[in-house]
Chains A and B, each alone.
Chain A
Amino acid sequence: MVNFIKPLRARFPGRGNHPADQSKESSLPGASWKEQVLSPDLETNLKQIKAILDKCSDVVYREFVFAQNEQIRLALIYTDGLADKTQVGDQITKALALEVPMAVPGQEISKNRALEFIKQRGLCINEIQQTSKLRDVIQAILSGDSVLLVDGHDIAIVNGTKGWASRAISEPEAEPTVRGARESFVETLRTNTALLRRRINSPNLKIEVFKLGEITNTDVAIAYIEGIVNEKLVAEVKSRLQRIKVDAILESGYIEELIEENPWSPFPTVNHTEKPDRAAAMLLEGRVAILVDGTPFVLTVPNLFVEYLHSPEDYYERFIFTTAVRILRFLSALVSLTLPALYIAVVSFHHELLPTTLLLSIAGQREAVPFPVFVEVLVMELTFETLREAGIRLPRPLGQAVSIVGALVIGEAAVRAGLVAAATVIVVAFTGIASFTFAYSASIAFRLLRFTIMFLSAALGLFGLISGLALIGIHLCSLRSFGVPYLSPVVPMTGIDLKDVVFRAPLWAMFTRPRLIARQNQKRQEQGLKPEPPETRPKG
């Protein structure tokens, strides 16, 4: 299949992803400054920076003199909106221009000592760095830090003053749960790492930051727990991330598509979550999380197929109920994949499979319907998909209207008009509902494959349905996510990990981590944690 596509790819070189083909620098003009360093002269530096940041109206230049020695000119550069204005004003400008003489009265500072003095006693900022590279200076300005240039020094002080208006932490919209943390990741990387750190208070939680995207320079962090994670996995994640040479990373989906092993598969092999508690649980099982600045969706790898049928809530509710709900979810997944196809196969090929009364009832409903059952189901499925898409795209206040109209059109009018059988509506509606019981990204794959299987079963009956399922099964068996078989722990069978597939073992019985993921550190907890009544009971 992939080979079949290759010639196509050669014809559209822009779409291919050959790192070698691409020039190392992006195609932006004026990239020559990147290797340059600062000069000791403030004017030269300012001129250069202004030239680079030409027409960037949001960059603020503030030139002032040092209170301790008016000979020393300073310049502060930051981006308006990205840097915290009060911080910049109070702790840099005010401190250096007014307050230093109060703290250190009567001290004359020579030009040579100025930089050191400012760093030591002048600035009230905690997070400062210094650099002499022009590239770092520009980077710092554009990422919300403020840069202080001191006349006579070819070194700039980078003040950590990041602080922009960001969305508050809210409830997870895509993964709602009844029980469990209500926090969701937000668009700010720092907040997200903080959310993770809050849950895992351990020095072993490592968070490494990279910059990806030639133009966007997006911060991308990988998080893992040292000692649990497989070191090779971390190395592999890093190498796959470093391979990425694209101009922009606007969402974690960009990364997902560039690091997955099976780009042609309808099934996602990189999981994502917007719940910090889920991400923490993934890390604790030995996975690696990839956090991207600008999106609340955090990627986790390796990804197993069963993850999509699990919910974070599964571990918060008691295990008996969880197991029952999981059985329901697995059945729903099967239903959402096969029910319309099964209906088509039975109604147009295998009449003998239905009980007589049911067959007659369906036959009665279909009596007035002008189309073959396949067309009927296909039309209804497409209608349903249209409604679903409209429901997502429409401005929220209108969503209600769509669902009402949709329900009326599908449910009532179509049946009344004799265009569709009531049984078909039931099948399509139930299929739709069943597809909402598990993770959205897997349900997308199922939605696509549902249509394929419908075609197969319309042409070949149950034989087609079963062939389709067999093909999907074979395909799933061949998938891997970062080296871990997609269907594990079921295929290949890992006995001990079946504790958490359909059946969710009680927490006190889950004393190992997934074997194929956390290979090197299997032990999660001590055995024998099962709570029991005290041995000596009070007599009474």
Chain B
Amino acid sequence: MSSFAEQLASWQARLDKSLAKHPERKKQFTTISGLPVERLYLPAEPDQAYADNLGLPGEFPYTRGVQPTMYRGRLWTMRQYAGFATAAESNRRYRYLLEQGQTGLSVAFDLPTQIGYDADHQLAQGEVGKVGVSISSLKDMETLFAGIPLAKVSTSMTINAPAGILLAMYIAVAEGQGVKADALRGTIQNDILKEYSSRGTYIFPPKPSMRIITNIFAYCAAEVPQWNTISISGYHIREAGSTAVQEVAFTLANGMAYVQAAINAGLKVDDFGPRLSFFFNAHSDFLEEVAKYRAARRLWARIMRERFGALDPKSLMVRFHTQTAGCSLTAQQPKNNIVRVAFQAMSAVLGGTQSLHTNSMDEALALPTQEAVTIALRSQQIIGYETGVTDTVDPLAGAYYIEQLTDEIERLADDYIARIDQMGGAVEAVEQGFIQREIQEAAYEYQKAVESGRRVVVGVNQFLTQEPPPKDILRVDPKVRLEQVEALKKLRAGRDNRAVQAGLAALKAAAQGTDNLMPHFLACVKAYATLGEICDTLRGVFGEYHAPTTI
């Protein structure tokens, strides 16, 4: 008891110092009726169990959040995932979102880009610009960020197998704006293991993929120190059908595999650990989701400290982005999705997210229209500025149900991690198809529950109405591909092709050896080698991954 009192006093003293420099959003927080709101509420008599399992916000085990003041200091980053068609068109959407008060960018790339094919590749037919923006070279990247000051915005890029190459392009664009790499803030997803199990945009086999990832960790620790080098993602695991427990377990197991790979490559855990970030799903079971984020924070902090010996508090923290659950959106009565998304977003906020994407109501039908995206962003602003839940830290702490659910999710996720350990880790568990099978069984169980009516989905299996299909949906013009093909032809004719060949040859030699690949990516993209040319060079050395079919 007295030890907790001391801990609290020292927490308060450090906080007072930092508040003197960085004050909270308001001098005083009150409810809408004028009642005072404290920063932190605690049990009347905090015992040892409280200190061990919940503790103080911004301190181990981070159950109550990663910052001492949470949203009283600053709201989360409102970051809508966007990108479609050409770089020029996506650039216009980004500028619109920034004008509307969005605080960070999040780039969606099309599938050819994500799988390392240029827009003129045979396999890119029908896919160019469809689920994101088409980027085949630095030229496209320059257009994508034209007029957007990269020293000021933070940019998240959903890119995995070719993440290092797209990051190199981003660094090169910044250089063109006169911005040094050490000033850049943002995230690359760079999480290949969940691509094998859940999302599908892999290129190379696991071993060389893990090497590229550790190359990025090492390069960024030295050159791009504010960059989040990976976003270890449960989002897609959940979308593929997992339960909340599986989402936590498989995400953290993947995280452990990256940490181990980096340690094996000779890196020190506290050199790269602070730049690891996470990405979770916000699904529909409101209180389970709140407990899930809290459990993930506590479990990761314990794993990093106990298993990997991390000491830097930033290595122990789960800093995470959240996106509301795309798979929960219904094509039926699509306006109901606005309500679903608002509840899901609220669960992420009550769970302490650092950034948030809210889905648009029409995403079960097509890419979102501008109107739908704006409503989704406004939903976050309403939660942030109107509801009052941001005025005190971890407001649901101490609720019997929340705390028991937090304990239960942590315990069950830990059991899964022990099973994955026995298989030899997450890479082996994926190669054996274990994770894929667990996810697809959970997905099928869920589907059966919906079809039998045991689980109600409003507008789908109850409360049905006849309605005409919505008319205003966003479509990507097929001529986008033709434009990109033309642009590539011009690029290849106009660049210094000797420099391109020299860059690719050096990259090939480095890939065959043990050099860090990042400087080679940078040299290649600056010579305007295309994404496809760079990836083909690597395919030649590393080969391609062929997935086991698990049904």
Say whether A associates with B.
Answer: no
